[in-house]
Amino acid sequence: MAPVVRFAPSPTGRLHLGSARLAVINALFARTQGGTFVLRIDDTDTEQSRADYDQAIRDDLAWLGLGWDRLARQSARLARYTDAFKRLRDEARVYACYETEDELARLRAGLRARGLPPVYDRLGLRLGDADRRRLEAEDRRPHWRFLLDAGSVAWTDLVRGPQAIDAGSLSDPVLVRADGAPTYTLASIVDDLEIGITHVIRGEDHVANTAVQLQIAEALGAAPGRFAFAHLPLLVDRDGAKLSKRDAALGLGALREAGVEAMTIVSLFARLGSSAPVEPFVALDQAVAGFDLERFGRAPVRFDPHELDVLNQRVVAGLPFAAVADRLVALGVAGGAPFWEAVRANCARVADVADWWRVVAGPLAPVVEDAALLAHAVTALPPEPWDAATWAAWTGAVAAATGSKGRALYRPLRLALTGLDHGPEMRYLLPLVGRDRVLARLKGQPS
């Protein structure tokens, strides 16, 4: 059976690198297996969810090239959650609780102070009808908790291996809030069942949730083993601290504006945290072909912005002209494929190409380091047309006339022609600059 996976962001902000990693891994897993990638917008939080964030999430995924096969929104499925809740209530699997958030916080704090786990004490389950009438007369509205069965919940995780969670170590989860809204816990498992999700690939911070959701799924009629789970270690920074979602610089929008390529993000997360080396893929098909979920391990996954920059330069260096042609036009860069292929290895960002275009097309102030050598270079300059062999023939003639070689030969010529002591191979740049500009720059004239 082909797998069905889902990426389920909440439209309460822009996508962050941690979320993007899960989107990439889910999408690549689906593609490698000929499966289905579902985008589910978890927008039941009406106070925090925003339409512009919903659109931004879809824009970011489209930019990454992660086209989804199906789109679902939880706000359109509220009736399904109500039906599921009624079924659980009819089967006595949920019970009403009346504690306020402050009261629950004090309960948890008291348990921690006594060295006990902050597990809900099931007070709501012990209330009688008179207690409930009294509390509702005080204008309290109940929230509803799922009654967990005692015992161990076990599964074999595709990343973490055999797992077992003692249900007694967990609080009975809230499925419906006091305002009547379903929680993520209820909505997510109802969606996963009805949409047909087969594999849940997410962060390791959801391991305990898995035990809860497996019990809810079985209470709603799911067969044991209905889902496969893979819990990935979370991203941490170079010092081992969890990445903060509040760091705006790590949002996909900010990275995109900073010139990071979509395929750099995909390339990084297709391999980071696995036993395979990170490679600079320039097309999604390449990332799909080399993806293997079984290679991912449990060790912390460290994110280093410097490594992202290095990878981005490698990706840019491999981009074909067709992939950047429109962006070069927008940057006012001409020269076509020959120019791009000459300079791409020297661009950390695609936008850097504009600097190299100024080197080629001017205006440029030449740097004259060895006027005598440049005078010989003017005399030896061959007529056009030029090609990639012209540089070697010309510098050979200059070397013969001056006796210069190595750095003493090449550095003065590069400085005069580009104003820099480094850059793309001159055999490719020379024909692009053209004889008129080369001649002017050798004579020290801005051109």
Q: Are residues 435 and 383 in the same domain?
A: yes
Tokens 């819990």 belong to residue? 231
Q: Of 311, 336, 361, at which residue does a domain stop?
A: 361
Alpha-carbon gap, residue 359 to 352, rounded angstroms? 12
- Give the tens place of pLDDT for each residue, 61-114: 999 999 999 999 999 999 999 999 999 999 999 999 999 999 999 999 999 999
The predicted model scores a pTM of 0.92
Q: Are residues 378 and 402 in the same domain?
A: yes
Residues in the chain: 447
- Print the domain residue range for 330: 321-361
Residue 375 is assigned to a structural domain of this protein: yes
Burial-class residue 147 by CB neighbours within 10 Å (0-12, 13-18, 19+): middle
Tokens 């740049």 belong to residue? 429
Q: Are residues 331 and 386 in the same domain?
A: no
Task: For 222-244, give the DSSP string.
Answer: PPTT--EEEEEPPEE-TTSPBPP
Strands 235-236 and 228-232 come out as unpaired
The enclosing domain of 426 has a CATH number of 1.10.10.350
Residue 330 is assigned to a structural domain of this protein: yes
Residue 425 is assigned to a structural domain of this protein: yes
Q: Please write down the long-range contacts of 316-320, taking CB distance under 8 Å and 24 or more positions apart.
A: 316/261, 316/344, 316/347, 316/348, 316/349, 316/350, 317/280, 317/344, 317/345, 317/347, 318/280, 318/282, 319/261, 319/282, 319/344, 319/350, 320/282
247 — pLDDT class (breaks 50, 70, 90):
confident
Residue 100 is assigned to a structural domain of this protein: no
Residue 436 is assigned to a structural domain of this protein: yes
CA 433 to chain centre: 39
Residue 225 is assigned to a structural domain of this protein: no
Q: Are residues 396 and 335 in the same domain?
A: no
Q: Are residues 344 and 392 in the same domain?
A: no
* Number of domain units in the chain: 2
219 — pLDDT class (breaks 50, 70, 90):
very high
Alpha-carbon gap, residue 56 to 114, rounded angstroms? 46
Average pLDDT over the chain reads: 96
Residue 285 is assigned to a structural domain of this protein: no
Q: Are residues 347 and 404 in the same domain?
A: no
